[in-house]
Each structure stands twice: as structure tokens, then as C-alpha cells.
Homo-oligomer: A and B are copies of this chain.
Amino acid sequence: MQTTNSSTEEEEIFQVRKLEISDKKKGFVDLLQQLTLCDSISDEVFEEQFNEIAKCGDNHLICVIEDNNSGKIVGTGSVFIEKKFIRNCGKVGHIEDVVVDSSVRGKQLGKKIIGFLSDHARKMGCYKVILDCSVENRPFYERCGFKQKEIQMPHRFCHLYKSSPKACTEEHPKTSINQYMFSKRIITFGYK
């Protein structure tokens, strides 16, 4: 019964909850740096952005997983609710910025985050949730109930990156977390 005990123990150690302002001190921003470009943020700017997002109430939820042993934030993801006129004035949940700390991958924490965000969208009355991911991450999201449909097309505004043009043309180096999660052969950066 070792597996069950260990699983229950992990369940207690890694719980998903809403982001709090104090999570900045617990490594929330460092974690985001594993996902993509994320400069260090001052406490003031962080609080300002936190309060801006909080204005949307339940329509923009950022969740985190705190490692209750170390007190470190080891997982995060967000969902915001879009209100439409189509589909009977329906709502769609957009999942963004999902990442699990490289030190705790392989514990199904990604699935836990996706489940938490999807449940929130469902409770908010969404008829679907959508996300964009790399082709390599498709198998992971398929296991979470997602199915590929369209393609994602960004258009970057380079003028905002005059001081750092690299940020406009290049992505942060990354590969698939799932390649690590399921084969445990390589260390990776994040979901997207």
C-alpha cells in the first residue's frame, strides 16, 4: 500500500488554491521564469497588477500549488472567462500560463492545475475551456480531456521591445514538460 500512502501524502503536500499577494515571496515569479520571459517584478508593481486582475473577480482566476513542506510555489495556471453573444450568450474559459516547477515534475501536478481551472470555468457556466499549446504537449492535454481543433496565430508588436528586441523575435528556450513527466528522460522548462 506504499503507493496509496505516498499518493495521499502528496495530495496533502501539494494543494491547489488561488494566488495570494504573499505568494511573490514564495517564489511565484521565479516559477514563471521557467515558463517564458519574466523579469523580476518589484513588490509595488506586483501588487498593482494583482489588484488589477482581482478587479475581474471570478472572471480571472490565477491558481498556485504550494509545496507545504518547503513553503515554495511549485505550480501555477490561470483561466479567464470571456462573455460572448454566440452560443446563447455563452461563456468560454481561456487557460493560460500553466507551469510546474522542474523539481516536482512527474507528480501529476499539471493535471491537478488543469482540473482546478477547468472546474472553475465549468462552475462559472462556460460551455468549454480552450488553451494553446505546443504540438509536443498535445498528448498531455488529450489525457486531460482536450482535443486539438484549430491553430494559434500570434502577431507580436515589436515596438514595445525596443530595449530588448530579442524578446520580440525569440522565445524562451523550452521543450515539452510532458516529455519529462512521462518519460523522465529530460529536464524541461514549462508548458508554453
Contact = CB atoms under 8 A, between A and B. Distances in A.
A77 to B, nearest CB: 12
A185 interface: no
A117 to B, nearest CB: 10
Contacts of A97: 84-86
A45 B89 contact: yes
Contact of A127 (B29, B35, B125, B161): B161
A154 B160 contact: no
A182 to B, nearest CB: 17
Contact of A150 (B38, B41, B142, B192): B192
A80 B80 CA distance: 10
Contacts of A94: 82, 94
A138 interface: yes
Contact of A144 (B35, B138, B155): B155
Given A122-B157, A147-B154, A85 B41 contact: yes
A167 B87 CA distance: 9
Contacts of A147: 153-155
Contact of A86 (B32, B84, B131): B32
Contacts of A85: 28-29, 32, 38, 41, 46, 49, 62, 97
Interface of A: 28-29, 32, 35-39, 41, 45-46, 48-49, 52-53, 56, 60, 62, 78, 80, 82-89, 94, 96-97, 118, 121-122, 125-135, 138, 141-142, 144-157, 160-161, 167-168, 192
